[in-house]
A = this chain, B = another copy of it.
Amino acid sequence: MRATVMYGAGDVRVENVPDARLVEPTDALLMVTSACICGSDLWPYKSLPPSAKGRRMGHEFIGVIEAVGRDVRTVKRGDLVVAPFAWSDGTCEFCRQGLQTSCLHGGWWGGDLDGGQGEAVRVPQADGTLVKLPVGRDDALMPSLLSLSDVMGTGHHAAVAARVGPGKIVAVVGDGAVGLCGVIAARRLGAEQVILLGRHPDRIRLAKDFGATDIVSERGEEAIQRVRDLTGGLGAHAVLECVGLEESTRTALGIARPGGAVGRVGVPQDEMIPASSATFFGNITIAGGPAPARAYIEELLPEVLDGRIEPGRVFDRVTDLDGVPDGYRAMDRREAIKVRIAF
């Protein structure tokens, strides 16, 4: 079969790899119908050391079940299913409390396993991982459904971690696909004011469509001052950190009001959190991490199906598998917000 392999920074290839196949009795074999490139794929795209073996890529996908192992109970051949960006057994201590990204028997796509940016995937722990979709593979809602595998769940997680609720003032740091989904999530949870920190006109337009009330295009100290000005001098109750860099984290902590919370979902690129004394003295909570997207699918799916939320609008380009390397290039250069791969 053909799949995407990254051999180093900027070196993405689509090539023949061993066919995906069932290995464990809890596996499913899935033929991918829709997948995408993630903002987090751009970190290795910028920095992965060269290797001869390469790394299989892609952790967001929808597909049709081709076969299941003998212990699989909840999905069957022919089902259209969405996979969250981490696989999980659904039964361990952490899964039971809705933190499937910490599943004791789970893991991440790609690496030595199949990735979503390929024709087929072996899905471990299929019963815990996959969710059946009640639509056909060519449904017009496919982009929004695909967003449930990561970006919509991740934006939602940032909002939950930042304790967004009715009447709250929310700031979203980052205008990528996750930040834009964070705007959707904040509005959905009742935020009164949603300030997006971003500077790309196409993304700002979409953020406003999603319900952002204010845009801050400054950076660093100037951004902090602008958010203060927009919030009666006090800062935001809830801040969604959707980037992961030291500067964006510093900004996120700097615009939270005392007693507020920062929900961070951007994969941190540093081992230290630049939390100044003000973070401690202001009792500002730092929460978040990888979203348990699996836990959120049940909650968000009905709203995608009835069109109340349209996170699929973050996809502004579609390609086939051969176009994946160019999709990375386009996202890295900010020519595209997020690229969908249709098979």
Size of interface on A: residues with Cβ below 8 Å to B: 33
Q: Residue A277 contacts which of B99, B258, B268, B277 (CB distance < 8 angstroms)?
A: B268
Q: Are A287 and B290 in contact (CB under 8 A)?
A: no
Closest 10 CB pairs of A and B: A283-B289, A102-B258, A272-B272, A273-B273, A285-B287, A286-B286, A99-B259, A273-B275, A280-B289, A268-B280
Which chain B residues border A272 with CB–CB below 8 Å? Answer: 272-275
In the bound assembly, the distance between CA atoms of A16 and B234 in angstroms comes to: 40
Which chain B residues border A118 with CB–CB below 8 Å? Answer: none
In the bound assembly, the distance between CA atoms of A241 and B260 in angstroms comes to: 19
Which chain B residues border A283 with CB–CB below 8 Å? Answer: 99, 101-102, 161, 287-290, 292
A residues near B, CB below 8 A?
A: 93-94, 97, 99, 101-102, 161, 234, 258-259, 264, 267-268, 271-277, 279-290, 292
Q: Are B271 and A101 in contact (CB under 8 A)?
A: no
Q: Are A234 and B93 in contact (CB under 8 A)?
A: yes
Q: A101-B281, A161-B285, A283-B287 are in contact. List 19 more A-B contacts (CB 8 A).
A: A99-B258, A101-B258, A102-B259, A161-B283, A264-B280, A268-B275, A268-B277, A271-B274, A271-B275, A271-B276, A271-B277, A272-B274, A273-B273, A275-B286, A282-B289, A283-B292, A285-B286, A285-B287, A286-B287
23 A-B residue pairs with Cβ-Cβ distance under 8 Å, sorted by A, are A93-B234, A94-B258, A97-B259, A101-B258, A101-B283, A102-B259, A161-B283, A264-B280, A267-B280, A268-B275, A271-B275, A272-B272, A272-B274, A273-B273, A273-B275, A279-B289, A280-B289, A280-B290, A282-B289, A283-B289, A283-B290, A285-B286, A286-B287
In the bound assembly, the distance between CA atoms of A264 and B286 in angstroms comes to: 11
CB distance from A254 to the nearest CB of B (A): 13
Q: Are B289 and A284 in contact (CB under 8 A)?
A: yes
In the bound assembly, the distance between CA atoms of A161 and B287 in angstroms comes to: 12
In the complex, residue of chain B having the shortest beta-carbon distance to the beta carbon of A290: B281
In the bound assembly, the distance between CA atoms of A284 and B279 in angstroms comes to: 17
Which chain B residues border A292 with CB–CB below 8 Å? Answer: 283
In the bound assembly, the distance between CA atoms of A99 and B285 in angstroms comes to: 13
Which chain B residues border A287 with CB–CB below 8 Å? Answer: 283, 285-287
Which chain B residues border A268 with CB–CB below 8 Å? Answer: 275, 277, 280
CB distance from A158 to the nearest CB of B (A): 12
In the bound assembly, the distance between CA atoms of A99 and B261 in angstroms comes to: 14
